[in-house]
Amino acid sequence: MLDHSDNKIPIKGYASFHPLKHCMIGRGFEPEHLKEFFPDPKILNPMTRIANETEEDFLELESIMKKAGVQTYRPALNMEKYESPEKIYRPPITPRDHLGVIGEKLYAVKYAQGYSEVLKKVSKENLVIRPADTKYTGTIDTSRILRAGKDLYWGFDPNYGDPSTYVEMFKKDGFRVHLLPKDYHFDGVLSFLKPRVAIAVAEVQDYSKTLPGWEVELIDDNPSLPFRGTKFKEYIKGRWWIKGEEHNETLAYFIDKWLSDWVGYVSESVFDANMTSIDEHTVIVNNYNKKVFDFLAKHKIEPIIFNFRHRWFYDGGVNCVTQDFYREGQMEDYSV
């Protein structure tokens, strides 16, 4: 049984399918913050809808988690208003992109926007802020580093520098580290569901080599992209999509000029592969996909659909907008 007498958040995570007990859910922005600079209703009305519907969806996700016995946490939106249009900070919408629980340590950057209050609730012995001697400038997070017991699969970006400091830290903790030749968030193309059972996007990796002995169900590159094959994809350069705003040029200009850091490149994201497991028998998914659901049924895994309506704007699915803090279980070797 966990001891919460010190009100600290417990930290542990060895595999993404171990039973989830403590989890953070992201937070969006307040539309009031935009009124001062952008009163135009062609901007403010759709942005207000995004803000309100995002919080509605996150409350629904929180309800799903609590029904499963998971304690949830929310990051703070720690600014009263934006100082200027040049400083419209991206809200702490996707904690998975900034934090990483690996083993019994939480890795973080000290001043990660919106997460500092939560980090104060983590015991110092469980918290790793970027070491001074590291030559790696990227974040250590569980969107790039996927956990499967003793094995860590790291979608490593060499543009961030030398990762050897972290690799040695992981090895000292007993992990095997696999640096994979892809420089984007791997949780958008690969999900571990059970020991040696996974879903992945076809043609991203040769999984017979990277995951020998695993049963990996391969799905299409992006079967659920709503603007696939339309002119809108070229209009916004494939970066984002907001339902009903396909012809709003004022909004498109606003997002391109002022919110470029808020959006990603949604055309390369595959939300059908982006999942968060409650345990080996239950997984939260973004949408229905027959091939995925048939595979889940085969392995006796129940899917729960969480329809995050603005995932195509934020470029973040259910795994992106969560960060697991504590999963039951220990380090196990799932290799064959």
In a domain, 115, yes or no: yes
In a domain, 7, yes or no: no
Residues 6+ apart with CB under 8 A from 214: 196, 197, 198, 207
The percent of the chain in helix, strand and coil, each rounded to the nearest 5, is: 30, 25, 50
Q: Give CA separation, 101 vs 94, 271, 313, in Å.
A: 15, 22, 26
Q: Strand 176-180 to strand 151-155: parallel, antiparallel, or no bridges (unpaired)?
A: parallel
The CATH number linked to 100 is 3.75.10.10
More confident residue, 13 or 135: 13
Residues 6+ apart with CB under 8 A from 242: 46, 50, 251, 310, 312, 313
Q: How many angstroms separate the CA atoms of 91 and 67, rounded?
A: 26
Whether the predicted pLDDT of 191 surpasses 50: yes
Chain-centre distance for alpha carbon 30: 21
Whether the predicted pLDDT of 17 surpasses 60: yes
What is the largest distance, in Å, between two alpha-carbon atoms of the chain?
Answer: 59
Percent of the chain with pLDDT over 70: 90
Total domains in the chain come to: 1
pLDDT tens digit string along 157-166? 888 899 999 9
In a domain, 3, yes or no: no
Q: Give CA separation, 168 vs 29, 186, 289, 290, in Å.
A: 38, 21, 39, 41
Q: Give CA separation, 23 vs 71, 72, 83, 214, in Å.
A: 6, 5, 31, 27
In a domain, 268, yes or no: yes
**What pLDDT is recorded for position 32?**
81
In a domain, 1, yes or no: no
Record the tokens describing residue 100, joined without a space: 């990483």
**What pLDDT is recorded for position 232?**
61
Residue range of the domain that includes 137: 20-327
pLDDT tens digit string along 55-80? 999 999 999 999 999 999 999 876 55
In a domain, 120, yes or no: yes
In a domain, 255, yes or no: yes
In a domain, 334, yes or no: no
- For the full predicted model, state whether its pTM sits above 0.75: yes
